[in-house]
Structure 1
């Protein structure tokens, strides 16, 4: 299904840590003359979506950093940049499928997640210019505004922490965990977003249990036992912090907040590639601290606006980090098993 955004302007993402490589001049009717080129069918659809003429002169700069989809920055070199409302942009970010995707996976999920984050407010979110889930043999693609990356300043780290705190402000008390659309994705793995009776039950049933089952052939018997024990105790550990009277409540989460999904741009800190759902704000923070890449000033600035409750660092942070670690086991294999199992044992040790 081809999907166009209602309006076009100018901003968005690069592959976060990626640096543009040598541009390749092309005609819109032709492929990009580089390794892993933009498929001709995708290029035709994208040019039409952008409102560029079919014979537009286009540069396509390969962007690094993405481990799932190839990506380029497209530049209509014949068109001067303008900020006038309604004018087609001179640049845009494009990524597309270069291999068969799991049934049900689509760029539409990611596009909707970006729009939900933008509506909530906080960090800069790229505007969706169009997307396609792939039709008639054409690969799926996602087209976003382009944001020029730049090295961060000290102020950028502080701004990111404050913006995340705004994103994580509590939702209405009656809101349930998960998302209104039950089906979601984390990279290429299905992610169950069906609401549950409590946040702790959601983390147990919709996050830990499915990934433990999927990873079981790669885990040791002791590791499975430790993970199962943690999962069983999760509601009792999390519900008092989130669900009880005086609890923090739920927030809108990015859902996959590692450093590669954050971009310091010329307009400020931006988030990309979300796996959005409603949950406990500490999930995003735990993910940020799992693999590094974020300055300590970011968390400090976040806590200036939204202090973390006792028990986060010694107990809930490793508990929330189990989910992305299990996802990495299921995506990339045994290299993440030892850290996953030791993290589960660390949670149990913190419980005494």
Structure 2
């Protein structure tokens, strides 16, 4: 049986040469695989074109500065990724503060440009396509590649009404942020992509160059254990620009639009509210 078929044991055997002895489902198309030498790996299946290549490139790019913990890439092909397993534990203040400092150093490692990535141009954020084309202007890039594609999709499907679209379009014409160099972003840093152990591990990246405030805003979007300590440690280690808290809704607009496109109009009200808050800020 080839590694491309939905058989995690066969995929791990073919890609790594190890002998699987047990398989346990962790999530949809994600499996924990025991091997006869006592090792434990995670096998992830994703048949979308370029998805595994983008995730592998992102994991390696995030690991490069040694600032944050990410799973070790053991092997992969175009549909399977085999990674080291992380043993979860309860979130702790020590791990949260370590994460804050690590994110600050990761962002400071930089990127060649906004939108730049070491993976394919056509990437993914969760289940949604995400374009990664370099730009030197953050505001223009953020509007063109992180807001407009998802806003058009939501408007065409009538998930966001005309008034809501108008609010978001007004914000797009008025975006102002302090000038900062491109940061090396995780890119999909909601709390579900943080695995807590003795330290915090980051999984499922949509890595690209962007504004560092975007990762922090996304981390706050759906709640994160000890978020106040994460932010405080980050700011103490590498201070954030004045007014960063008022810009959180602006940076949350991207993931909220993605959620609207993926999961329906239930997120539309929150998306428009974020745009209104960003305009007031």
In the alignment, the residues of structure 2 paired with residue 208 and residue 297 of structure 1 have an alpha-carbon distance, to the nearest angstrom, of: 30
Match of 1:320 among 251, 255, 258: 251
In the alignment, the residues of structure 1 paired with residue 14 and residue 197 of structure 2 have an alpha-carbon distance, to the nearest angstrom, of: 27
Matched, 1:60 2:23: yes
Q: TM-score, normalised by structure 2?
A: 0.91
Q: For residues 135-161 of structure 1, what are the alpha-carbon distances to aligned partners after superposition, in whole Å with 9 as ceiling and x for unaligned?
A: xxxxx2211011111112221111111
Deviation at residue 188 of structure 1 after TM alignment: 2.1
Contact conserved, 1:63 with 1:73, CA < 8 A, in 2? Answer: yes
- In the other structure, the counterpart of 2:200 is 269
Aligned Cα RMSD in Å? Answer: 2.0
Q: For residues 11-64 of structure 1, what are the alpha-carbon distances to aligned partners after superposition, in whole Å with 9 as ceiling and x for unaligned?
A: xxxxxxxxxxxxxxxxxxxxxxxxxxx933x432321222224xx5x1222224
Contact conserved, 2:9 with 2:33, CA < 8 A, in 1? Answer: no
In the alignment, the residues of structure 2 paired with residue 193 and residue 294 of structure 1 have an alpha-carbon distance, to the nearest angstrom, of: 30
Q: For residues 214-237 of structure 1, what are the alpha-carbon distances to aligned partners after superposition, in whole Å with 9 as ceiling and x for unaligned?
A: 111211111000011111222xx0
Q: For residues 214-270 of structure 1, what are the alpha-carbon distances to aligned partners after superposition, in whole Å with 9 as ceiling and x for unaligned?
A: 111211111000011111222xx03xx12xxxxx3121000000111011124x211
Uncovered stretches (5+) of structure 1, i.e. residues with no partner: 4-37, 81-89, 134-139, 243-247
Matched, 1:153 2:153: no
- In the other structure, the counterpart of 1:260 is 192
Contact conserved, 2:91 with 2:225, CA < 8 A, in 1? Answer: no
**Which stretch of structure 1 is more off in the superposition, 291-300 or 334-343?**
291-300
- In the other structure, the counterpart of 2:170 is 229
- In the other structure, the counterpart of 1:340 is 271
Uncovered stretches (5+) of structure 2, i.e. residues with no partner: none
Contact conserved, 1:288 with 1:294, CA < 8 A, in 2? Answer: no
Matched, 1:179 2:116: yes
In the alignment, the residues of structure 1 paired with residue 17 and residue 121 of structure 2 have an alpha-carbon distance, to the nearest angstrom, of: 34
Match of 2:44 among 80, 95, 120: 95
Give the SS at the match of 1:168: helix
Q: For residues 52-88 of structure 1, what are the alpha-carbon distances to aligned partners after superposition, in whole Å with 9 as ceiling and x for unaligned?
A: 24xx5x1222224xxxx42221112x324xxxxxxxx
In the alignment, the residues of structure 1 paired with residue 102 and residue 110 of structure 2 have an alpha-carbon distance, to the nearest angstrom, of: 16
Alignment of 1:1-352 (within 5 A): 39-40=6-7, 42-53=8-19, 56=20, 58-64=21-27, 69-76=28-35, 78-80=36-38, 90-97=39-46, 102=48, 104-133=49-78, 140-169=79-108, 171=110, 175-180=112-117, 181-216=120-155, 217-234=158-175, 237-238=176-177, 241-242=178-179, 248-266=180-198, 268-295=199-226, 296-314=228-246, 316-350=247-281
Give the SS at the match of 1:113: helix
Q: Which has the larger radius of gyration?
A: 1
More helix by share: 2
Deviation at residue 290 of structure 1 after TM alignment: 0.9
Contact conserved, 1:105 with 1:188, CA < 8 A, in 2? Answer: no
In the alignment, the residues of structure 1 paired with residue 136 and residue 234 of structure 2 have an alpha-carbon distance, to the nearest angstrom, of: 29
Alpha carbons of structure 1 residues 148 and 190: separation in structure 2 relative to 1, 3 Å: same
Deviation at residue 170 of structure 1 after TM alignment: 5.3
Contact conserved, 1:211 with 1:330, CA < 8 A, in 2? Answer: yes
Contact conserved, 1:157 with 1:298, CA < 8 A, in 2? Answer: yes
Contact conserved, 2:97 with 2:233, CA < 8 A, in 1? Answer: yes
Alpha carbons of structure 1 residues 105 and 330: separation in structure 2 relative to 1, 3 Å: farther
In the alignment, the residues of structure 2 paired with residue 184 and residue 233 of structure 1 have an alpha-carbon distance, to the nearest angstrom, of: 28
Contact conserved, 1:129 with 1:144, CA < 8 A, in 2? Answer: yes
In the alignment, the residues of structure 2 paired with residue 63 and residue 203 of structure 1 have an alpha-carbon distance, to the nearest angstrom, of: 34
**4+ runs deviating over 3 angstroms:** none
